[in-house]
Amino acid sequence: MNNHSIALFASGNGSNALNIIGYFKENPTIHVAVLICNKKDAPIVQKATDAGVEVLVFDNEAFENGLTVLQELDYRAIDWIVLAGFLRKIPTNLINGFPNRIINIHPSLLPKFGGKGMYGHFVHQAVYDAKETETGITIHLVNEEFDKGEILAQFKTPLSPADTPALIAQKISLLELSNFPTIVERTIKNQQQ
């Protein structure tokens, strides 16, 4: 079996990123090689460092240009990118450099509650306002259209009228933590030639 190196991209708290780092720690063929962040004071920077993962922080200009990021990924022979709570748009050169090899997680059942401005608590608030009776997560490949790449998996959870946006966030977090790493692993294993 081939070896695979993941670059995790995260912008904030990083509970999903840290969970993925832990999940692949003992994996013989898939490992998290680097964590890439766009905010130097994001909690995930310290958490990933403490977990023994190299961290690279790029400013917004570097992300928009994409070239330096691409070079750093090439240098580390990265073959998969996993977006785990990464809040910037991925530039075209990165998408083209990793065709069908960028995985994102979105905290709703896409195509519902996706697109520009739909992230974090905005999603949970919108789900609440729409009086949805269920919500969930979508794990998908990234292409040039925001939140519209091929869906790899969706997981659902029922909602009751008592579920406030904060409670919805908790339900979503549980779904993400228990399902994201296994879908990443399955996707990588399925795509190897």
Q: Give the residues lining the site for ligand GRF (CB under 6 A).
A: 10, 12-17, 84-85, 105-107, 120, 172, 176
Nearer to ligand GRF, 121 or 189 (CB): 121
Q: Read off the tokens for 105.
A: 């997680």
Helices vs. strands in the chain: H and E counts, helices first: 7, 7
List Cβ neighbours of 81 (8 Å cut-off, separation of 6 or more): 6, 7, 9, 73, 90, 94, 98, 101, 102, 103, 142
Nearer to ligand GRF, 71 or 156 (CB): 156
In a 3-state reduction of DSSP, which class is residue 180? Answer: helix
Chain-centroid distance of CA 154 in Å reads: 14
Based on the residue annotation, tell me whether 106 is a catalytic residue of this protein: yes
* Closest distance to ligand GRF from the beta carbon of 192 (Å): 26
* Closest distance to ligand GRF from the beta carbon of 138 (Å): 9
Nearer to ligand GRF, 1 or 129 (CB): 129
Chain-centroid distance of CA 157 in Å reads: 19
* Closest distance to ligand GRF from the beta carbon of 176 (Å): 6
4, 31, 106, 121: the catalytic one is: 106
Catalytic residues: 106
